[in-house]
Amino acid sequence: MAKKWNMIVDVEKCDNCRVCFLAVKDEHVGNDFPGYAAAQPAQGHNWLEIERKERGSAPMVDAHFMPVMCNHCDDAPCMKAARDGAVTKRADGILIIDPVKSRGQKQIVDACPYGAISWNEELQIPQAWIFDAHLLDSGWTQTRAEQGCPSGVFRSLKVEDAEMQRIQAEENLEVLKPELGTRPRIYYKNLHLFNKCFVGGSVVKEVNGVEDCVEGATVVLKQDGRELGRATTDAFGEWKIDRLEPGSSGYQLEVTGPAGRFSIQFDLGSESRYLGVMKLAA
């Protein structure tokens, strides 16, 4: 079996420094690579972009960042929309939009369900991130984005499909829009920070008429009687349970501490929730 290129992107590690964004620009703006890609325009094209997601509400909010680019799908809609072999899939899994054959074929841009293909108005061609195939073909083992990233967000792997499937299961990797069946070769780790919700709260007890934070209380979350997660309050009495499905309902929450108990039932909308201050009672 042939080994193919894959990319793992760890959402949790991205801090929006945008070095990867600049590395792609540095490699492709003004640089023509015949057979791979024409030069990227100085403005208007972001072959690698950083998306932002904020979850929760004050005082419990988190923000995360996710690099997005061409997914180099094995069942690529852009390849189906192209004429005359303008989009091809290499034996190593990399998708290439031919900068000559694709001229005038704007339908290639429209076919991408991820919005990862840009239209070069001057050259009248569609363009996307080429996985730095020109560098890999010359012996590189990393893309420019991975090489430049200071926090280890990216990991390039050239492995057989069976091995990639094992890694995907072992590391709980996901792809974007799996329901489309496009079979992307870009995998995401900790994608729950974008597509799942959390619930959180603050636990207090009353001491001499004054509310004080409770550290070390146990928080158990159940749905229809089945435990989904548990947490322990920190020094500020705060807790968080993540990876919940948006729009789900029927939750039961119970907090247990040395000063008593607290319980609540709630449903979850489309966004993460801060459930407020929870006062333990005997």
**Within this chain, do residues 253 and 206 fall inside the same structural domain, yes or no?**
yes
**Within this chain, do residues 213 and 77 fall inside the same structural domain, yes or no?**
no
User: For 140-164, how does the pLDDT look when each residue is reduced to its tens digit (9 = 90+)?
Assistant: 999 999 999 999 999 999 999 999 9
User: For 108-130, how does the pLDDT look when each residue is reduced to its tens digit (9 = 90+)?
Assistant: 999 999 999 999 999 999 999 99
Please report, rounded to a whole number, the percentage of residues in the chain having pLDDT higher than 90.
96
Mean pLDDT taken over the chain: 97
What is the span of the domain harbouring residue 40?
4-193
**Within this chain, do residues 8 and 140 fall inside the same structural domain, yes or no?**
yes
* Nearest residue to 126 via CA among 38, 22, 185, 186: 38
**Within this chain, do residues 175 and 218 fall inside the same structural domain, yes or no?**
no
**Within this chain, do residues 155 and 233 fall inside the same structural domain, yes or no?**
no
d(C-alpha 142, C-alpha 214), whole Å: 48
User: For 161-203, how does the pLDDT look when each residue is reduced to its tens digit (9 = 90+)?
Assistant: 999 999 999 999 999 999 999 999 999 999 999 999 999 999 9
* Nearest residue to 188 via CA among 173, 168, 207: 173
| Among candidate residues 174, 193, 212, the one where a domain is terminated | 193
| Among candidate residues 193, 217, 244, the one where a domain is terminated | 193
Please report, rounded to a whole number, the percentage of residues in the chain having pLDDT higher than 70.
100
According to the model, what pLDDT value does residue 76 have? Answer: 98
Q: How many domains does the chain have?
A: 2
**Mean pLDDT, range 210-239, rounded to an integer:** 96
**Within this chain, do residues 84 and 201 fall inside the same structural domain, yes or no?**
no
According to the model, what pLDDT value does residue 280 have? Answer: 95
**Within this chain, do residues 44 and 100 fall inside the same structural domain, yes or no?**
yes
**Within this chain, do residues 149 and 243 fall inside the same structural domain, yes or no?**
no
Which CATH number is 150's domain given? Answer: 3.30.70.20
* Nearest residue to 97 via CA among 163, 40, 36, 48: 36
**Within this chain, do residues 105 and 122 fall inside the same structural domain, yes or no?**
yes
**Within this chain, do residues 108 and 210 fall inside the same structural domain, yes or no?**
no
Please give the residue that has the higher pLDDT: either 37 or 258.
Answer: 37
**Within this chain, do residues 70 and 203 fall inside the same structural domain, yes or no?**
no
Which CATH number is 238's domain given? Answer: 2.60.40.10
**Within this chain, do residues 172 and 216 fall inside the same structural domain, yes or no?**
no
| Among candidate residues 147, 162, 193, the one where a domain is terminated | 193
According to the model, what pLDDT value does residue 79 have? Answer: 98
What is the pLDDT confidence band of residue 207, given thresholds at 50, 70 and 90? confident
Can you spell out the DSSP letters for 144-197? Answer: HHHHH-TT--EEEEEE-HHHHHHHHHHTT-B-SSGGG----SEEEESTHHHHSE
User: For 77-101, how does the pLDDT look when each residue is reduced to its tens digit (9 = 90+)?
Assistant: 999 999 999 999 999 999 999 999 9
Q: Check the CA dihedral 158-163-169-171 and report its sign.
A: negative
d(C-alpha 202, C-alpha 277), whole Å: 5
**HEC assignment per residue over 241-279:** EEEECCCCCCEEEEEEECCEEEEEEECCCCCCEEEEEEE
According to the model, what pLDDT value does residue 259 have? Answer: 85
**Mean pLDDT, range 275-279, rounded to an integer:** 96
**Mean pLDDT, range 210-220, rounded to an integer:** 95
